[in-house]
Structure 1
Amino acid sequence: MTAPPGTLSQGTPAPVRIVLADDERMVRTALRMILDAEPGLEVVAEAATGAEAVSVVRAHRPDVVLMDVRMPEVDGIRATEQILGSMQDPPRVVVVTTFENDAYVYDALRVGAAGFLLKRAEPEELIAAVRLVARSDSLLYPAAVRGLAAAHARRSPAAPAWAARLTGREADVLRLIAQGLTNSEMSTRLGVGPATVKTHVAAVLAKTGARDRTQAVIAAYETGFITPG
């Protein structure tokens, strides 16, 4: 993920910089109108294909990318994979889709997308989703991620090696991440300070080899550490 939005002169927060990738111009226009009208959010570029999205993201280095999952030339899955695999400090990618329980969406999460957003989402949901992934302190739509994992996870028959390396508290934290709790909520639930929770989350990501919380949850489901239901 890119560094959290910084600050401008006199302490003014820098805006969350966004790239829109969708092959339908009307969709991009609608998203831009919603996002640019919101204080603290700024659309810096658009792309009409997956290949163009990769190029634009490398050039503009945004904080968040809204990526259509189905596009010509290179689809959103491969574009996400290329962006996250080729940049030193990649942005957070949110795939945008028409269908919630879609294998394409799950594949995008598997390769590194931070979450997904339905095209029929209300403007308030869109804005909240962008702000949430930019902060990176919670899981976007945890119930929906669990549903996707239940339907599409490619489960390994062997227990993951990293499971044995988790402490008991780290295992608890991973399960709470899968439930969608924020650091503050986990702090209350576990009776420890926010700094301690942050340390545990960092350890969970390191031991699971996950890029972010979404990847940790996907790993937990695919290895059977967490079972659907």
Structure 2
Amino acid sequence: MIVDDDALVRLGLADLLDTDPGIEVVAQAADGVQAVELATAHRIDVALMDVRMPRMDGITAIGTLRTVAHPPRIITLTTFDLDEYVYDALAAGADGFLLKDTDPADILRAIHLVAAGSAMLHPAAARRLIDRYHHTARAATSAAQQRIDRLTPRERDVLALLAEGGTNADIAAALGMRESTVKAHVSRILTALDVTNRVQAALLARDAGAVPGADPYPPGAA
């Protein structure tokens, strides 16, 4: 689903997505209210979500979409990389954050990655996120470590590789597991840490020092 109040932007994105045989555009919305209605009526796998829209903005829409019966994975796609947009979108549950100047091939790649359960951040957004968490890490370390302590040693191994940007396939290869086993571990990790997606889990791992010296989520990584 494409969600943007600019009809020309929706048309351009639809034309781009139509070039990929693995992607089907099933709905287009002009604002957050319409996006929620369409996500209720259709089974949406991934939504490309603008931020500034009338009636209901993208950040509010992300939170609302998380409550529908089959919540889509969400990539925020906006012209603005303002700090509050990056933080608020990810805190609301977005699985990715891209700018509209992102290379078209990377937009297509992001959709496939997010649909498969991974995440993708624009390099500028990732750097802003890294800078913020470097400044606030000391205050967050204790609370984050308490959540990490809920995990088994094997789950911590998976989390460490996830926080370094590893896909399920990467983690499976590194730890000698089946990819399905990694997916099960990731699901349990998200539940135990009380987060909604891999980006939030990676940030929590960084806060806790589970990945010493590593960026919370490498730019453009899955």
TM-score (norm. length: structure 1): 0.80
**One-letter amino acid of the structure 1 residue matched with residue 131 of structure 2:** A
Long gaps (5+) in structure 1: 1-18
Spell out, residue by residue over 1:123-142, the C-alpha distance to the aligned partner (whole angstroms, 9 max, x if none): 21111111111111x33248
Spell out, residue by residue over 1:55-105, the C-alpha distance to the aligned partner (whole angstroms, 9 max, x if none): 222222311110002212221100100111x21220111100224463212
1:190 aligns with 2:175: yes
Moved more, 23-32 or 54-63: 54-63
Indicate if the aligned counterparts of 1:54 and 1:83 stay in contact, CA closer than 8 A.
yes
1:157: Cα distance to partner? 6.1
Moved more, 33-42 or 193-202: 193-202
**One-letter amino acid of the structure 2 residue matched with residue 183 of structure 1:** N
* 1:97 corresponding residue in structure 2: 78
1:217: Cα distance to partner? 2.2
**One-letter amino acid of the structure 1 residue matched with residue 46 of structure 2:** V
Instruction: Give percent identity, aligned residues only.
Output: 42
1:37: Cα distance to partner? 2.7
* 2:197 corresponding residue in structure 1: 212
Alignment match of 1:163 (pick from 131, 141, 148): 148
**One-letter amino acid of the structure 1 residue matched with residue 35 of structure 2:** A
**SS of 2:143's equivalent?**
coil
Moved more, 213-222 or 25-34: 213-222
* 1:55 corresponding residue in structure 2: 37
**SS of 2:149's equivalent?**
helix
The structure-2 alpha-carbon separation of the partners of 1:89 and 1:133, relative to structure 1 and needing over 3 Å to count, comes to same
The structure-2 alpha-carbon separation of the partners of 1:156 and 1:47, relative to structure 1 and needing over 3 Å to count, comes to same
Long gaps (5+) in structure 2: 215-222
Q: Distance in 2 between matches of 1:191 and 1:142?
A: 30
1:146: Cα distance to partner? 4.7
* 2:28 corresponding residue in structure 1: 46
Indicate if the aligned counterparts of 1:106 and 1:152 stay in contact, CA closer than 8 A.
no
Q: Distance in 1 between matches of 2:156 and 2:129?
A: 19
1:152: Cα distance to partner? 3.8
**One-letter amino acid of the structure 1 residue matched with residue 197 of structure 2:** D
**SS of 1:103's equivalent?**
helix
The structure-2 alpha-carbon separation of the partners of 1:29 and 1:158, relative to structure 1 and needing over 3 Å to count, comes to same
**SS of 2:70's equivalent?**
coil
TM-score (norm. length: structure 2): 0.82
Map of 1:11-160 to 2, 5 A cutoff? Answer: 19-84=1-66, 86-100=67-81, 102-136=83-117, 138-141=118-121, 146-153=126-133, 156=140, 158-160=142-144
Moved more, 43-52 or 138-147: 138-147
**SS of 1:72's equivalent?**
coil
1:222: Cα distance to partner? 5.5
* 1:8 corresponding residue in structure 2: none
